[in-house]
Amino acid sequence: MAIDRASPDDMMALASDRGAVVPLQIGVLLQLDPEHGVAASRMLDVLGRRAAAVPRLRQLLAPTPVGCGRPIWVEDRDFTPGRHLDTLAVRPFEPRVGDHAAPEDPCLDALAALVLDRLPRDRPPWRARVLLDPSGAAVAVAVVLHHVLADGVGGLALLAALLDPTPSAAGRPSGRGEEVGADRPTPRALARDAWSERRRAVAALPAFLVRLRRGARELGLGTPHRVPPTSLLAPTGARRRVDVVDVPLAAVVEAGRRDGATVNDEVLVAVAGALGRLLASRGESLDQLVVSVPVSGRPAGRGGELGNAVGVLPVRIRLDGDRRSRLADVRAQRRRLPAGAGRGSSVRLMSPVFRALASVGLFQLFIGHQRLVHTFETNVRGPSGPLSLAGATVRRAVPVAVNPGNVTVSFDVLSAAGRLVVSIVSDPDRVPDHEVLRSALRDELTRESPLGSCHGNGAAPAG
């Protein structure tokens, strides 16, 4: 019988969630074309059948006896799709007062509330909610999963399994998360497998040390990291607000081509510029911002694998100088990343440290007072072609990740179906001036290039 364990990277995700005010969960909102009018019953049926066809979505993480290694993924004997699916009626869009105010989007509010609702540990860690208009037709679907189930890239593969099949969509989730036996392994089998894994780890020690060196380079160790005090870093509570800026992807790609930059380079500089303008409106000034950017450690062609395989690249972005020089600085820092299998090695350094802090109850204290980064930005590239669900066109996919600790605002980016969607996730008590930030980011993404029009929608705080 195959034994499917949580990886060391997955264990870091679990450690990061221990004692957190907000759960370490990620989600996506699929906003549908209202003209299709898919009935709630049909949408629930489609989602249920497709979810049941993905082995990992039928599995839960079970602890093992002492000495038997890390937790294992096992079949949930009580699994039914209905335990993970529900519906919620949402009100129509409401106009808001102000020249640059975005319309109030109740779907974003519903997504924030679902992501903040901690998933139970006694069942597969995911949930989907169909949002309905007053007539009972589906207008959006919110999907949420715990970070231990998948990182952003793996989550995209799970999402593709729920969407209608398309040639450009990611493949079926593969690798870890395939079928496992209905019978759970015995303690004897678990102990034998754990000792075999430990022997393999000893044999792989030289390669592990190489990855540690690569991870240190990825993290930029050896240079000062402590950032000065700022209102961007403050204790956060249990609520989050989601604001969205949505621009045409092709225009951002063209801007990057002219600048010799990637789409993520362009977004990083835009995020830093927007935060600089937010700080200026508060009467604060910084020379630079440090943005934590995840780096996928998956080899090419294995984006469908589940679990976590991601490192961190801290990027320092100057707030002075012209845009091209700041983009050049970002490109120079990306050169710290090794090519091929060495990418994402920094998790090998962070995982044991984070897990050790969590084991003695100090991890939340650490991230609640850290002065290493100002914000997080995660960028995932989705399918380029049109998306649909139960025959309804997906007009926009909005990603959301919730970060515990003292980072008051973070940014989640998803490019899919020709749109670049940036979600601004903030603590509404710490960022009451969120409209200033949303407007600044919209302006930064359209500055110095003919990016065309864009629009942003804001959701009321959930909690």
Residues 232 and 193 in one domain: no
Residues 307 and 161 in one domain: no
Instruction: Examine residue 137 and state whether it is found in any structural domain, yes or no.
Output: yes
Question: How does pLDDT run across 179-204, given as a tens digit for each residue?
Answer: 545 568 888 888 888 788 777 766 76
Please give the pLDDT value at position 375: 95
Query: Measured between alpha carbons, how far is residue 229 from residues 280, 296, 315, 371, 430 in Å?
Result: 15, 30, 18, 8, 15
Cβ atoms of 55 and 73 within 8 Å: the answer is no
Please give the pLDDT value at position 334: 80
Residues 233 and 102 in one domain: no
Question: How does pLDDT run across 201-220, given as a tens digit for each residue?
Answer: 667 656 555 554 555 554 55
The stretches in the chain having pLDDT less than 70 are 1, 92-103, 167-183, 201-202, 204-225, 296-310, 336-360, 448-463
Number of domains in the chain: 2
Please give the pLDDT value at position 92: 65
Q: Closest Cα to residue 156, out of 167, 145, 385?
A: 145
Residues 129 and 271 in one domain: no
Q: Closest Cα to residue 140, out of 83, 91, 95?
A: 91
Please give the pLDDT value at position 425: 97
Instruction: Examine residue 395 and state whether it is found in any structural domain, yes or no.
Output: no
The amino acid sitting at 192 is R
Question: Where in 109-206 does DSSP place strands (E)?
Answer: 126-132, 138-146
Instruction: Examine residue 397 and state whether it is found in any structural domain, yes or no.
Output: no
Please give the pLDDT value at position 455: 40
Task: Supply the CATH number for residue 419's domain.
Answer: 3.30.559.30
Please give the pLDDT value at position 303: 43
Cβ atoms of 268 and 378 within 8 Å: the answer is no
Q: How far apart are CA 308 and CA 8, in angstroms?
A: 9
Q: Closest Cα to residue 400, out of 111, 204, 125?
A: 111
Domain encompassing residue 409: 220-390+403-458
Residues 155 and 231 in one domain: no
Residues 37 and 162 in one domain: yes
Instruction: Examine residue 151 and state whether it is found in any structural domain, yes or no.
Output: yes
Q: How far apart are CA 441 and CA 452, in angstroms?
A: 14
Q: Closest Cα to residue 438, out of 83, 176, 52, 96?
A: 96
Q: How far apart are CA 345 and CA 347, in angstroms?
A: 5
The β-bridge relationship of strands 126-132 and 85-89 is parallel
Residues 51 and 162 in one domain: yes
Instruction: Examine residue 429 and state whether it is found in any structural domain, yes or no.
Output: yes
Question: How does pLDDT run across 346-360, given as a tens digit for each residue?
Answer: 455 556 666 666 666
Residues 34 and 158 in one domain: yes
